[in-house]
Amino acid sequence: MKTIWILGDQLPPGNSALYQASSKTERILIIESRNLGHHLKYHKKRLSLVYSGLRHCALEMRATGWQVDHYPLEDTVDYETGIRQHLKRHTKAQIYVAEPNDWPTAEVVRKLAKKYPITTVPTTRFLLARNDFKEWAADKKQLLMEHHYRGMRQKTGYLMEKIDGKMEPVGGTWNLDHANRKTYKDWVKDGSPLPHPRRRFPPDATTRAVLATIEREFADHPGSTEGFDLPVTRQDALLALEDFITHRLGKFGDYEDLMIEGEPTLFHSVLTPSLNLGLLTPAECVEAAIAAWKKGRAPLNSVEGFVRQIIGWREFINGVYWQKMPAYREVNALEATRPLPSFFYTGDTKMNCLRETLGQVIDSGYNHHIQRLMVLGNFLLLAGIRPQEALNWFLEMYVDAWDWVMAANVLGMVLHADGGAMATKPYAAGSGYISKMSNYCAGCQYRTDEKTGDTACPFNYLYWNFFDQHAAFFEKNVRVAMPLNSWKKKTPAAQKAVRDSAKKFLANLES
């Protein structure tokens, strides 16, 4: 008999191993590997999401008539334990599994396939096949998301229209990012709008049992299971998508870069946990947003921004990941060696922007993309934190984190550790950006108007210190010519003040 093995991030409906399968002739295998949860110190809410998603999948498949061989984490050390038990029960079983979405899992499956009758099926979890991305990237010295995004728009036809017999982007432009940058002052001028509360999904009995096991089995992991309220079923994920389209998509574009104390999600979708598990497909998320625009329920800038995140950025970083792994995980072009500060697990820092953002992720396992990039990522870049430590932290702490998601995002975009292979410039900024896009600075003991010294915002002198340290590396990069020239024009005394302030701050960071 044919067995379909469902991995934790390959939940239906888009699992390619289930295509043309029938409950009359095939059975389902679900393995909750305990060792997988101990690979890193994963946030308890992330573990809750993954294991509860698997357990609900087993229940739902049984309810629809499938025979399910399910091995819960309480009794299952690793994948091989489940495979052996399954083959002991079903000696003639041939196991089929959708191609794993990340390199570590693919390696585990490859090794198991040498010992057991396991066959992988090409994944359809993404809109663009891995080989198609490799073909697109083959002759390019640098991979630019914008070029990839335009190709995806043409390939899918999303937000395209025929004008004079030629397919053109709706609205006459490919990218409306310029219309999606409202600042904190803009938000206040607009009346400080806040979204309808995000729909939450209280744990049912199955999830509560998982939460209890997580607290017991992973007691030393960060975070808590308390307050877990994410979708763990296909039905609830669809309700979460509907909730976003109805209540937050309309203002998503305007305020997607905004950061407000006490508002961790604002108008963001919070759909990536469901999307990355497989409970939602990229196509249905995009098509729901486009349908809302066509009905006049959401403006084009919001819809295009959301579409770009999914068919542009999400597909792009997956393609970069599979083109460059496994060597990509060890890149460190800027030779950053400082260890990750311990306060990234406690939030105990005097910098209010960091304290607020870290507090949110420690509590919920979530930050939106600007908090990840321009607060946490910016700090890690400027402080010279070792890329692999930073990557592991991101993998541990976020409910939507998987290796394919975080590797290119953190190593390439956040830390420029690949030397610019996928980002034309480092995402480095002083306090000005955070001050403009948030209200974090008002509640901070550091001053954004001071450039050096004990009371100055550390982002100010760390920014200039970064370009001082890496001036030779970026010398031929025209995208950073302005800060490099500005640094060179500073007086020797001003440069010394920057170096001294940075040295003192970074020394205390390591103590």
Q: Please state the rounded mean pLDDT for residues 286-290.
A: 98
CATH code of residue 378? 1.10.579.10
Q: Which pLDDT tens digit goes with each residue over 313-341?
A: 999 999 999 999 999 999 999 999 999 99
- Are residues 255 and 355 located together in one domain of the fold? no
How many structural domains is the chain composed of? 3
- Are residues 31 and 160 located together in one domain of the fold? no
Answer whether residue 188 is part of any domain. no
| Average pLDDT value over all residues in the chain | 96
- Residue 376 and residue 502 in contact, taking contact as beta carbons nearer than 8 Å: no
CATH code of residue 208? 1.25.40.80
Q: Please state the rounded mean pLDDT for residues 155-182.
A: 93
Q: What is the 3-state secondary structure (H, E, C) of 164-180?
A: CCEEEEHHHCCCCHHHC
- Are residues 287 and 390 located together in one domain of the fold? no
Q: Note the pLDDT of residue 141.
A: 82
Q: Please state the rounded mean pLDDT for residues 32-38.
A: 97
How many C-alpha atoms does 366 have within 13 Å on its Cβ side? Answer: 22
Answer whether residue 282 is part of any domain. yes
- Are residues 286 and 435 located together in one domain of the fold? no
Answer whether residue 302 is part of any domain. yes
Query: For 470-480, b where at least 16 C-beta lie within 10 A, e where not — what string?
Result: beebbeeeeeb
Answer whether residue 213 is part of any domain. yes
Nearest to 462 by CA among 356, 339, 351, 344: 351
- Are residues 136 and 106 located together in one domain of the fold? no
Count the Cβ atoms, other than its own, within 10 Å of residue 63.
9
How many C-alpha atoms does 389 have within 13 Å on its Cβ side? Answer: 15
Structure tokens at 398: 């976020």
Answer whether residue 455 is part of any domain. yes
- Are residues 27 and 136 located together in one domain of the fold? no
Query: Please, which pLDDT band fits residue 302 given cuts at 50, 70 and 90?
Result: very high
| E strand or H helix at 49 | helix 44-63
Given a cut of 60, whether residue 102 has pLDDT beyond it is yes
Answer whether residue 185 is part of any domain. no
**d(Cα 125, Cα 15) in Å, to the nearest integer?**
7
CATH code of residue 51? 3.40.50.620
- Are residues 303 and 410 located together in one domain of the fold? no
Nearest to 103 by CA among 325, 257, 266, 312: 325
- Are residues 87 and 154 located together in one domain of the fold? no
Answer whether residue 483 is part of any domain. yes
Given a cut of 60, whether residue 33 has pLDDT beyond it is yes
- Three-state DSSP at 68 gives strand
pTM over the 0.85 mark: yes
Q: Which residues contact 501 (CB under 8 A, 6 or more apart)?
A: 452, 453, 454, 456, 458, 461, 465
Query: Please, which pLDDT band fits residue 1 given cuts at 50, 70 and 90?
Result: confident
Q: Note the pLDDT of residue 142.
A: 85
**d(Cα 417, Cα 485) in Å, to the nearest integer?**
23
- Are residues 75 and 163 located together in one domain of the fold? no
Phi, then psi, of 69 in degrees rounded to 5: -100, 105
Q: Note the pLDDT of residue 250.
A: 97
- Are residues 142 and 288 located together in one domain of the fold? yes
Q: Note the pLDDT of residue 511.
A: 57
Count the Cβ atoms, other than its own, within 10 Å of residue 133.
22
- Three-state DSSP at 69 gives strand
- Are residues 102 and 150 located together in one domain of the fold? no
- Residue 76 and residue 29 in contact, taking contact as beta carbons nearer than 8 Å: no
Which residue, of 121, 139, 164, is where some domain finishes? Answer: 121
- Are residues 386 and 505 located together in one domain of the fold? yes
Answer whether residue 57 is part of any domain. yes
Residue span of the structural domain in which 135 resides: 131-179+197-260+269-325
